[in-house]
Amino acid sequence: MKSSFGKPWLQIVLLGVLIGISLLLVYGPAAPSESDRKIVIDDSDVAQLIASWQSTWNRLPTREELKGILQNHIREEVLYQEALEQGLDQSNAAVKRALITQMDVLAEGQGEQSEITEEDILAYYNLRKDQFISPSRIRFKQVYFGQDAREDALEQLRERWNQTGTSFEQAMLEGVATMLPLAMEDRTSDQIDREFGDGFAQQLETLETGRWEGPVSSSFGWHLIYMDSLQPSSPLPLSAVRGAIYEQLQYEDKNAAKEQFYTELIQQYDITYKGLAKQIIDE
């Protein structure tokens, strides 16, 4: 599809795009003065409008479309400046929130200027390694005996099973029928507790593997447990959490940039507190 722009016109547009983007990056969107009713549309405005259109439609606007974009932009500017002149922004929470959000975005942009290096990621990982822990994983079988079983009787039964090498199939014949899982394969503590109740997995983590252990209590009653394997929790390798650390560092950089921006900005204002506000600040 051929563009409707001639070469000179396209050159002006491209130059305007570069100027507009440069001004936007350096200064951010300019707020109109409340006392100035003049509206000036220059190349930077045209460039921003064209760039916005192109990002939405993946093509340059035609002359007719550009004319419509400009007319709509002027309409918005007239209504915006008139609203400021009438002080509508001073009592409109939505307008205030939108402007605050825009200022936060500009402040966050300062944090994105610093590059997060591999050294930054490694330092963060070493400092907070205890936050990146893989959960323990347990494989076990259980025989259920109900809520009224006696602990001493179950201890004796456990010893007999270990001495005689009782298999799981044989052990099940001496237990009580249950809808609980008879075995769980390579499950985390959270997954086990969802089946047997809070704290059950923590008890399993203290048991020896390769033998019958217990009795262990659950929300449902008493169990004898055969521990197949226990893989204790351990720090995750850096390779598994690098992406999460990078995102966290970005988040912290943005917050730090906002705090620095606000700290520098508030020093430019003379703030007076009166009445209850003064009492609260002075406490």
pLDDT, averaged per 10 consecutive residues of the chain (283 residues), comes to 47 51 48 56 82 88 84 75 69 73 72 75 86 88 94 94 93 93 92 93 92 94 94 85 88 82 76 67 69
Note the pTM of the prediction, 2 decimals. 0.45
- Position 7 scores a pLDDT of 46
Burial environment of residue 281 by CB neighbours within 10 A (0 to 12, 13 to 18, 19 or more): exposed
Residues of the domain holding 125: 93-132+240-283
Whether residue 2 is contained in a domain is answered as: no
Asked if 124 and 215 sit in the same domain, the reply is no
Is 36:24 a contact under the CB 8 Å cutoff?
no
Asked if 100 and 58 sit in the same domain, the reply is no
CA distance 73 to 2: 26
Is 13:5 a contact under the CB 8 Å cutoff?
yes
Adjacent-strand bridge partners of 187: 138
Phi, psi of 275 (to 5 degrees): 60, -135
- Position 11 scores a pLDDT of 52
Is 161:213 a contact under the CB 8 Å cutoff?
no
What are the distances in angstroms from CA 12 to CA 6, 22, 28, 144?
Answer: 10, 15, 22, 82
Where residue 146 sits, what CATH number does that domain have? 3.10.50.40
Is 136:231 a contact under the CB 8 Å cutoff?
yes
- Position 1 scores a pLDDT of 45
Whether residue 250 is contained in a domain is answered as: yes
Whether residue 51 is contained in a domain is answered as: yes
Asked if 79 and 97 sit in the same domain, the reply is no
Asked if 144 and 192 sit in the same domain, the reply is yes
CA distance 252 to 197: 37
Whether residue 1 is contained in a domain is answered as: no
Q: What dihedral do alpha carbons 196, 200, 204, 210 form, nearest 10°?
A: -20
Asked if 190 and 255 sit in the same domain, the reply is no
Asked if 122 and 249 sit in the same domain, the reply is yes
CA distance 57 to 121: 38
Asked if 109 and 148 sit in the same domain, the reply is no
Cβ neighbours of 192 (radius 10 Å): 23
- Position 110 scores a pLDDT of 62
Structure tokens at 103: 């200022």
> What is the DSSP secondary structure assignment for residue 175, as one 8-state letter?
S
- Position 99 scores a pLDDT of 73
Query: What's the structural domain count of the chain?
Result: 3
| Torsion region of 271: left, alpha or beta (phi above 0 gives left; psi -120 to 50 gives alpha) | beta
